[in-house]
Chains A and B, each alone.
Chain A
Amino acid sequence: MWLDISLIVIILSGIVLLGSSRIGTIIQLFAFQSLVLSSIPLQVDRAGLNWHVLTIAFGTLIVKVFVMPNFLFWAIRHVRLRREAPTILGYGKTMLLGGILVGMAFYISSKLTLPDRYFSRLFIPAAFSIFAIGLLLLVSRVKAITQVIGYLVMENGIFLFSMLLLDKTPFLIEMGILLDIFVAVLVMSIVINNITEDYEDTNTLNLTTLRD
């Protein structure tokens, strides 16, 4: 029951993300989503609490809830205009589209059979939904910082997916993935920082000098 509710809260925060326009709110919503997400390893753990699961949960908690949002806030510290620029699609349609994507995620997952037992029937749909919501956020927004959040939300979906393999994934690989994402956000923050210095805004519609 708590697992189901956590999953729904994660999807819910994704949909709210699709409808928010303040960059500060968006980053905080991402942190909130990751907070709920970091509790998932503890909830699906079957072997009793061990250092493997605890490290993953705490690693996610520290990196995604505390470190990454701070990096992103650092990257936009000089930006005065902390609102998402108007998008082509508009928030209402984006949210509706998000709802449709979530529906499709549920439909697709109902067609897939898992080879063995899993924790909750909501698990795979939720992972797909978050992934799709992240992708939608990424393509529908124009501010660089929101696109990074979209990428990270996608990554959260993948994290949820990887929980299905919690007991079999080598610890080394999991830490490698976490480290990679951490460095990715670091690099992206630095690039965003450079963008804001060059263009005084993080609007990617400004990035049009290179074209054919």
Chain B
Amino acid sequence: MLLFLILLPFSGGLLAFVLPKNSLRKILLIGVASIHLAAVLGLWSGGMPDNGSGPVFLGLDVLGKLILTVISILFAAVSVYLWGYLKNERACNRIFTGCLLLLLSSMTLVSVSAHMGLLWVALEATTLMSAPLISFERSPQNTEAAWKYVLICSVGIALALLGTIMLAISSGNFKTVFLNDLLNHASVLTPSWLKLSVIFLLVGYGTKMGLAPMHTWKPDAYAQSPAPIGGLLSGALTACPILAILRVVQICNRADLSSFIEPILMVMGVLSLGVAAVFILRQKDFSRMLAYSSVENMGIIALGLGLGQAAYWPSMFHLINNALTKGFMFMLAGNLYQHYRSRDMGQIQGVYAQNALMGVLLVLGFMSLTAIPPSGTFFSEIMILSAAVQSKHYLIAAMFIVFLSVIFIGMAKGALQMFHHGPASKQESSPMVHPVSSMAPILVLGAIILALGLHVPVFLENVLRSTQTSLGGR
């Protein structure tokens, strides 16, 4: 079954390279995405996954399953959205579709790999497969963004490879990086090598996640890629390195090194929040603002993981909400860009007056981004804050509040302007209409976000609690 999930998009990707027509490739994309989604949702009906205990390459625990589901939902939404989006793009989409499907394949591989080396291979593959997506609209700016993305992420990931090898060295005579072996023998890992390896792994995968100060590729890459791809990158692709970091946390908790990894994660998280706050405040470009918001949310997740077990499941909940919101917002932004032909928030004005539905959706997305209740992010952020207070990290809690307020002000300035200010002369602008394929995924994602904000289903709550157990909390 797991093999099927990987090979389906993989063969789909290869097929996309040989199919002759753009329209056939779009059908292929949606077909593969929906089968993938159906198969992933089908996994949940089989009861709680069995971790197994021996050295296996592929295995699906609850963490991987959760992240795989997020990836699959977001990918399906984006692939439907691309149906209408690609109609406006004249260029041949052979490489684009092929790489997109290979990206899904490698993201799936990340979430089902139970071997740290395989995880690394899959993560590096995600970087390489997403680079052509960024430079899809071949302009000098795209080239620049793709270059920064590939180089910075590859170097970061190279650090993580070094960390992985050190992890293997730390395991002594086992010399293994099978996750099960590592977790079962966590107590015999050599501490000095393990610490060194944890530092390299955190910096390496943190780069891929976009934690400050390794975030510099992020605004460029997200803003230059086509808007839905930005959503896929900031929602689904960031979940992959987060999974890698979750594995590191898992190992550290088992090896009694949680006091070593937690301060590092907290510092990285707060730093990301601070950097995001500074850059959001004077941001003009909508996509870049969303990118910095992504830096912020990665920071929140890292901070949550660093605060210990009380904040584990809020972090996971935040991850889900953030991924859905980012996909939602970027697709919404895509619609706005196609109408206004600009990404400048000064140019995009009077959305509500033009199209009431878009205006309402914009406000919904904005609420979820800045964690205004009723949104799931409000819930998770307040839980993380309370965990910080309870564990007596008052300074961290204070900085958390300050940075979030600054970010709120920065985003409110831009988003409300877009919502409210009317265009100078109404008759000049054409009416804002979007095809069904460009609205349906946004509406579906919006509904999920709203539902999660109002009520967390018992099923999801159980899953989140079991992630906490799996991460090593009690």
Q: Which residues of A contact B (CB under 8 A)?
A: 111-116, 131, 135, 138, 144, 147-148, 151, 154-155, 157-158, 161-162, 164-165, 167-170, 172-173, 176-177, 179-180, 183-184, 187-188, 191-192, 194-195, 198-199, 204, 207, 209-210, 212
Contacts and interface: CB of A to CB of B under 8 A. Distances in A.
Nearest to B220: A210
Nearest to A155: B158
B158 A151 contact: yes
B193 A162 contact: no
Contact of A158 (B57, B138, B161): B161
Contact of B124 (A148, A184, A191, A212): A184
Contact of A184 (B150, B170, B172, B224): B150
Contact of A194 (B128, B143, B219): B143
B140 interface: yes
A154 B155 contact: yes
A154 B158 CA distance: 8
A115 B169 CA distance: 7
A16 to B, nearest CB: 22
Contacts of B170: 115
B169 A151 contact: no
Majority secondary structure of chain A interface residues (helix, strand, loop or mixed)? helix
Contact of A169 (B117, B124, B145): B117
A170 B57 CA distance: 10
A114 B132 contact: no
Given A173-B115, A177-B117, A210 B145 contact: yes
Interface string B197-240: 00000000000000000000001100110000000000000000
B190 A188 contact: no
Contacts of A212: 219, 279, 282-283, 288
B162 interface: yes
Contact of A112 (B120, B174, B193): B193
Contacts of A170: 57, 115, 117
Contacts of B166: 161
Given A114-B169, A158-B165, A191-B131, A176 B118 contact: yes
Contacts of B165: 158, 161-162, 164-165
B128 A183 contact: yes
Nearest to A166: B175
B172 A112 contact: no
Contacts of B158: 151, 154-155, 158
Contact of A180 (B121, B138, B155, B224): B121
Interface in B125-158: 125, 127-128, 131-132, 135, 138, 140-141, 143-148, 150-151, 154-155, 158
Contacts of B161: 158, 177
Given A113-B192, A165-B169, A195-B143, A187 B131 contact: yes
Contacts of A209: 140-141, 144
